[in-house]
Structure 1
């Protein structure tokens, strides 16, 4: 008979065996039900594992946790990016001084235009990729005849004083432009245009006849009628609102500082938190003012400003070497043209002479030599990116062909001078032996001097003699352009966003303030230009411009040389998407809402 101790051990062993059997049945029950173990079953797992098995399982669990941690950290590190954040301040130097930060007058000054473009907004805005797109307006519709433009204003659009932008503000602004008492230089843009308030948020512009370029004029900034209606029109230029403006743009006026003489030395704008589109990231913009581009470049070099509104060609190499800034050079619709005045020099009436000059100018060498390729060779009035730009159209540089043309036309080379003599029909008995000689008039600037000298050298190769006449920019309009006082004119011409060549080549524009500088007249060209500006269908309009350019190329009233770029500098701390083309210098701010200085972390 077993003793008590043995019985106790046997009993304890039986209990343990029964418990073990119960645990095993619970574990094996998983196999029977073919389901995932319950929490109660998982709790029994350590009881069925040996000590070494428990260590193995614990290690495996630990390894899994470490791997998960490493993977999580790696994922966060690999997918963590910097994104723009609100904050930061940018200081830019401008040439000039603000006076009329007012859409009615700002176009007369780059400084005023720069500040007005940030403070005010128009019904439409210019976009480098998409052209003219709605801004204050949420939609634009044009009737089938192209004579009624109807725009609906965004419900979220507000002025900086919190007032909603309404149709009455648009009506007031356009009426003020049309009112001669305001003396706005924009009056011609809205001549014979009626503006009608359809409802509180809808406005229509009614034109007497279709005018395709009209949409570009809808970018003019809108004034708050509630503030400006209290000011007499003749007193508008004296109003404090010209320097302490209230608009609806991405930035609003904060403060300005004057020197002892009363001149504004700095001007600060702050972020418009309630901007109807995405508000800008940069918190504060401060502008400082300098008398000329040279002083601005020096201020940039001395770090008195972080960026520069303009960098001339002569300063671009210096600015490029500045490690703190980035030189940007978007294209500008400014074309430099060599005009022939056939009324002041008899040989210029000979198309052979004009064709020879065209073939003798090495445009590619000119752009490379003078501008280090910071300009683009052009061959026609319609620029890249505009309606009916034709990249296949080009003037061929061919001095031998130019020589052949002149020789066959009777302009022979003088054995004594190497210059070409006038053909016999143009010689006079009083002054025999006269040469083919012209005076080239040009604006007096560093780059224009180099361009003129290059043309002088190129024409000398084919025996045409040039005398260079440089005139200050201030006198070009009154002394040269208005009286058409030139034989050959080297002139940079600023175009608008719309390529309408009417002001430059229609025969009605040959006198006074017209820009047909050569006196060119062609009835077929007149008809094409008249019809093109009334067409809203881009394809039909492009066909008209194609025919126009073919006729112009045939007549050679001018030689198109190159399209300019606009240089300005931004500090490298300012991140921006970049802009490839602008219409006005102020368009460098077209994407200002995307500029940023500060960043924050986020997962991609």
Structure 2
């Protein structure tokens, strides 16, 4: 049967001929009930949201965010710049930070603290590792002048010249530099030194700017654009000071022609503060992007980076001077009394590790010490007692009990007509016995009265003088047995008790002063009298380190990416300006240090360093305390920071050309 509706349906079309007009939509909405209108709008919003989500999801899944040029990085700094000159870097981190960004070296460090090429394009090691030849990259100074091998040779010459008094001189002494062409240079060493590449991280100065300056006119602080010309990723724009001369801000612009790559950031600012409170506030308020503070993270949007650093703090005994600490037993007792884990926890907020060796085995992947002495208060107390550092019940403090040296010792044979000091002392001694020498005359002349007195003395102590000598009658002559009895009775040595005070010399700044306070508390808990001599860094350098003027010194030492403790512990470095500050001398240690420095393979070097650290652990010339991490706080808006290990704080900027704040998305 034929469907009566088929002809009508075949003529009906579901195709939308045109989009409904506004009037039609109005009639449509008027035709809907209130519930239908609500449902319609809800479904419409859901459809739009779904479409937006699907579009966004499609976009994000098919694109990636990459760094984009632009933005300013602001670093907060305490204090003031001092020596913005690669030749005269001070102990201040800020000087090193700015120099790191402005200047370049032949070599540099990557994110893991490993050496990589900087100005060097490539290099060859020849002549049994005594000649290093480099080919340079096509680099330019900030003023557009090409960087050449002459610039490197010129910089090395300045460093090696004693008139310039550069602290870098000791690292380059005895090394010959030979430019082979404008972009090739050779370094010739007097003997093999595999760690030499690390020496070449020094920053290069432009010869065309400094060549005509005499050493006495060479600026310590390169405080103008005329001198602050480097080849690094950023260049000086301006230095802002207030009316008192306080440097408020140093601004650096990107070096668009930087030989590695154009930095993403447009500017880097160093903003200077007079106190940590103001700096912390600025960081918390997001006026800054980064800072290095003892307090670490300060708020939301900030992230702490704990960077491994090959440095340690130690308590050095002055072995150059005659003092109580020449006794290894006393050094061991003090070592057992110090709670190193407490220092890590309380001073460094657990951002660091206990140190037991100057070779930092855990940092460099060496085998650890075969045996380590841990903190043990009870054992330390027993050892102090055994060493006769006992507690005075009246004062509650430990005192040193020592054998008292006699004020005089009879050494000569005396008889009639002898004269001199020994005769006077003899008469003085005999006069203590009225029954022996009733006259008591002290003339310095051995006469008959003195002889009679000696006879009486010998008879008085017959059992100790005459009998052992096989004599039955006194002789009146002063010989060995008589001298021994005179020494025993008249000028005895015996024991003497003296107060015992430990003085720890260190810096008046964090963290050294805080570590010293922790050590003081530990030692005072064992009834020791401890004083802290806290001085400025400049006084520490001028009056303490250079003169070796200390009893115990709390100080830090830093190794490089290639461990080489030679300069800190070899006996040849015990006199200033050597860095063996405690005066440690050991033939065994010297031998292992020399072998480690001259080793041709990492395995050979590590083997000798492991042997060296065992010798030091046995001799205990210092107490190794802690290896703290370097805490760097950055805004979460900063990207591209990838440092894990650094050799010194300024090296956190070693790859600053990769940092960025702005991003853009590109299709995969």
Q: TM-score, normalised by structure 1?
A: 0.78
Q: Tell me how far 1:218 sits from its aligned partner.
A: 1.0
Contact 2:239/2:251 (CA < 8 Å) preserved in 1?
yes
Where do 1:105-504 residues align within 5 Å? 105-106=88-89, 109-129=92-112, 131-143=114-126, 145-155=128-138, 157-180=139-162, 182-229=164-211, 231-232=213-214, 234-237=216-219, 245-260=228-243, 264-291=247-274, 293=276, 296-297=279-280, 299-300=282-283, 305-311=287-293, 313=294, 316=295, 320-323=297-300, 325-342=302-319, 346-383=323-360, 384-386=362-364, 388=366, 390=368, 394-409=372-387, 411=389, 414=392, 419-420=397-398, 422=400, 425=403, 432-434=496-498, 437-445=501-509, 447-504=511-568
Contact 2:401/2:496 (CA < 8 Å) preserved in 1?
no
Question: Which has the larger share of helix?
Answer: 1
1:578-598 CA deviation, whole Å, 9 max, x = no partner? 423322222121221221111
1 CA distance for matches of 2:587 and 2:200?
31
Where do 1:585-596 residues align within 5 Å? 585-596=649-660
Cα distance 1:427–1:473, how it changes in 2: closer, same or farther (>3 A)? farther
User: Over aligned residues, Cα RMSD in angstroms?
Assistant: 3.6
Give the equivalent residue in structure 2 for 1:8: none
2 CA distance for matches of 1:70 and 1:480?
68
Q: Tell me how far 1:392 sits from its aligned partner.
A: 6.4
Aligned residues: 539
2 CA distance for matches of 1:410 and 1:197?
65
1:135-158 CA deviation, whole Å, 9 max, x = no partner? 111212222522111111124x23
1 CA distance for matches of 2:319 and 2:610?
25
Q: Tell me how far 1:344 sits from its aligned partner.
A: 5.0
Contact 1:154/1:201 (CA < 8 Å) preserved in 2?
yes
Contact 1:387/1:499 (CA < 8 Å) preserved in 2?
no
Contact 2:284/2:298 (CA < 8 Å) preserved in 1?
no
Contact 2:141/2:147 (CA < 8 Å) preserved in 1?
yes
2 CA distance for matches of 1:446 and 1:232?
38
Q: Tell me how far 1:600 sits from its aligned partner.
A: 0.7
Return 224-233 or 514-523, whichever deviates more: 224-233
Q: 2:583 aligns with which of 490, 514, 519?
A: 519
SS in structure 2 at match of 1:533: helix
Q: Tell me how far 1:443 sits from its aligned partner.
A: 2.5
2 CA distance for matches of 1:72 and 1:470?
65
Question: Is residue 91 of structure 1 aligned with residue 91 of structure 2?
Answer: no
Contact 1:374/1:564 (CA < 8 Å) preserved in 2?
yes
1 CA distance for matches of 2:618 and 2:404?
24
User: Rg: which structure is higher?
Assistant: 2
Cα distance 1:164–1:355, how it changes in 2: closer, same or farther (>3 A)? same
Q: Tell me how far 1:300 sits from its aligned partner.
A: 4.0
Cα distance 1:446–1:226, how it changes in 2: closer, same or farther (>3 A)? closer
Cα distance 1:107–1:133, how it changes in 2: closer, same or farther (>3 A)? farther
Cα distance 1:330–1:426, how it changes in 2: closer, same or farther (>3 A)? farther
Cα distance 1:256–1:347, how it changes in 2: closer, same or farther (>3 A)? closer
Where do 1:554-573 residues align within 5 Å? 554-573=618-637
Q: Tell me how far 1:363 sits from its aligned partner.
A: 0.9
2 CA distance for matches of 1:295 and 1:469?
29
2 CA distance for matches of 1:99 and 1:406?
46
1:279-324 CA deviation, whole Å, 9 max, x = no partner? 2211111223344555544554566x5145432x3xx16xx23335
- For structure 1, the residue ranges without an aligned partner over 5 or more in a row are 1-49, 57-66
- For structure 2, the residue ranges without an aligned partner over 5 or more in a row are 1-8, 16-49, 407-492
Cα distance 1:223–1:321, how it changes in 2: closer, same or farther (>3 A)? closer
Give the equivalent residue in structure 1 for 2:475: none
SS in structure 1 at match of 2:236: strand
1 CA distance for matches of 2:148 and 2:588?
45
1:41-84 CA deviation, whole Å, 9 max, x = no partner? xxxxxxxxx969x989xxxxxxxxxx999988753343333221
SS in structure 2 at match of 1:370: helix
1:177-200 CA deviation, whole Å, 9 max, x = no partner? 334455543233221111112223
1 CA distance for matches of 2:305 and 2:195?
28
